């Protein structure tokens, strides 16, 4: 122990934890700090935790951390915020398997995590298991009702932002949506993000005295983006602007457009969602409304650490990343 530095362990403990309950002689303080620095003393967090019931460790459970860069940035944001306050992250994923989830939750509980972020990598239903009910928990990206803080991207605002980017550039007519609400046989009502994004788009277009010229409903994968644009063109539509509901759809759309000899953005402007790596890889680079991964992670941990509990919905803005796929049309 660094306590062999002139004072008792009590005194040392007090100055190191910066308590002022009992006034400690400035001299003693100096001596303790000096000794601690000199010996490179670092308290054993395990021992401390046993005593204080606080591990300064928070669990991060997600369904998938692999697929998509979503996870990486979320963890990054969460970690930065955690580290700022002296916390560390126990990261794990369930792969959607309840058995794996149980095991993993137990392991975390065994290690006395102070709180957990229960994250889903795509906005969808899902609730933390009962075993976590004793702990502070925030749900990231969950749509299901949950009696605690929930963090979600502001998809509605994102939809508005996308449409506004087009309107501000002077677009008015012949604006088509590719992907739409994601209405497929599997998801006849569309998906959460699709419904909200489209509602935001519709709102702004309505405000501008216009409306979407058509919406191609499909799963949000490149091939459907291709098919969507191709079929639009085949049916004689002549879009001036495309709202692609994600970047992968935009990839497909680019291909279809190029094939027909239509240039982006000269002939048709494109705005998209997610701001994945693709957006900056495509040529021309793609203007996209970003999923605020990093901020979502940050917000989740901050919410946990601020002790804000109780049922509430926290919504994180989706910022526009302007690139080269929108042409300003002079009126």
Partner DNA sequence: CTGAAAGCGCTAACAC
Partner DNA sequence: GTGTTAGCGCTTTCAG
Binding site for DNA (CB under 7 A): 1, 7-11, 13-14, 16-17, 19, 22-25, 27-28, 42-44, 47-48, 50-52
Residue 44: CB minimum distance to DNA, A? 3
Q: How far is the CB of 86 from a copy of itself (least distance, A)?
A: 7
Alpha helices in the chain (DSSP H): 9-16, 26-39, 45-52, 70-84, 98-110, 155-168, 192-207, 222-234, 247-259, 277-281, 293-305
Q: Which does residue 250 bind out of DNA, a copy of itself, none, counting CB within 5 to 8 angstroms by kind? A: none
Partner touching 241 among a copy of itself, DNA, none, CB below 5 to 8 Å by kind? none
Cα–Cα distance measured from residue 224 to residue 73, given in angstroms and rounded to the nearest whole number: 27
Question: Counting contacts by CB under 8 A, is residue 214 touching a copy of itself?
Answer: no
Half-sphere exposure of 188 (CA within 13 A, CB side): 1
β pairing state of 269-274 and 241-244: parallel
| Site for a copy of itself, residues 230 to 259, rule: CB under 8 A | 248, 251-252, 255, 258
Cα separation of 226 and 253, whole Å? 5
- Is 121:64 a contact under the CB 8 Å cutoff? yes
| Of 5 and 282, CB closest to DNA | 5
Question: Half-sphere exposure (CA, 13 Å, Cβ side) for 250?
Answer: 33
User: SS3 for 200?
Assistant: helix
From the list a copy of itself, DNA, none, pick the one residue 88 interacts with, judged by a Cβ distance below 5 to 8 Å according to partner type: a copy of itself
Site for a copy of itself in 37-66 (CB under 8 A): 42-47, 49-50, 55, 57, 65-66
Structure tokens that stand for 123 in this block: 């906005």
Q: 135 near 54, Cβ under 8 Å?
A: no
Tokens of 2: 């660094």
What does 22 bind: DNA, a copy of itself, none (CB cut-off 5 to 8 Å by kind)?
DNA
Whether residue 218 contacts residue 180, with contact meaning beta carbons closer than 8 Å, is answered with: yes
Look at residue 321 and give the partner it binds from DNA, a copy of itself, none, a contact being a CB closer than 5 to 8 Å depending on partner kind. Answer: none
The entry of a copy of itself, DNA, none near residue 157 (CB within 5 to 8 angstroms by kind) is none
Please report how close the Cβ of residue 24 comes to DNA at its closest, in angstroms. 4
Q: Is cis: bond before 284, omega within 30 of 0?
A: yes
Pairing assessment for the beta strands 287-290 and 320-321 based on DSSP bridges: antiparallel
Cα separation, 142 vs 118, whole angstroms? 9
Residue closer to DNA (CB basis): 39 or 206: 39
Query: Which of a copy of itself, DNA, none binds 119 (CB below 5-8 Å, type-dependent)?
Result: none
Enumerate binding residues for a copy of itself (CB under 8 A).
42-47, 49-50, 55, 57, 65-69, 71-73, 75-76, 79, 83, 86, 88-93, 100, 103-104, 106-112, 222-223, 226, 248, 251-252, 255, 258, 277-278, 281, 283, 294
């Amino acid at each position: 122990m660094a306590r062999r530095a002139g004072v008792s362990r009590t005194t040392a403990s007090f100055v190191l934890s910066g308590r002022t309950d009992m006034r400690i002689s400035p001299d003693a303080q100096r001596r303790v700090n000096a000794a601690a620095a000199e010996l490179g003393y670092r308290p054993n967090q395990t021992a401390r935790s046993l005593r204080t019931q606080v591990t300064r460790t928070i669990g991060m459970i997600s369904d998938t951390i692999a697929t998509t860069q979503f996870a990486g940035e979320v963890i990054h944001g969460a970690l930065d915020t955690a580290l700022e306050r002296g916390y560390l992250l126990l990261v794990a994923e369930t792969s959607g398997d309840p058995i794996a989830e149980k095991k993993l939750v137990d392991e975390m509980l065994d290690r006395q995590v102070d709180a957990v972020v229960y994250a889903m990598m795509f906005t969808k239903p899902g609730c933390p298991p009962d075993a976590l009910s004793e702990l502070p928990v925030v749900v990231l990206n969950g749509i299901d009702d949950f009696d605690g803080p929930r963090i979600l991207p502001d998809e509605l605002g994102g939809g508005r932002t996308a449409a506004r980017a087009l309107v501000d550039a002077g677009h008015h007519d012949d604006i088509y949506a590719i992907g739409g609400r994601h209405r497929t046989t599997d998801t006849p009502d569309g998906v959460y993000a699709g419904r909200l994004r489209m509602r935001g788009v519709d709102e702004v277009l309505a405000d501008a005295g216009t409306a979407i010229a058509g919406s191609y409903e499909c799963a949000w994968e490149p091939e459907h983006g291709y098919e969507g644009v191709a079929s639009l063109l085949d049916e004689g539509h002549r879009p001036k602007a495309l709202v692609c509901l994600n970047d992968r759809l935009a990839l497909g759309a680019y291909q279809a457009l190029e094939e027909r000899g239509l240039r982006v953005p000269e002939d048709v402007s494109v705005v998209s969602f997610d701001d994945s790596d693709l957006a900056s890889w495509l040529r021309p680079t793609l203007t996209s409304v970003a999923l605020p991964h990093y901020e979502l992670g940050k917000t989740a941990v901050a919410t946990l650490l601020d002790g804000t509990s109780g049922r509430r919905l926290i919504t994180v803005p989706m910022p526009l990343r302007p690139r080269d796929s929108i042409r300003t049309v002079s009126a």
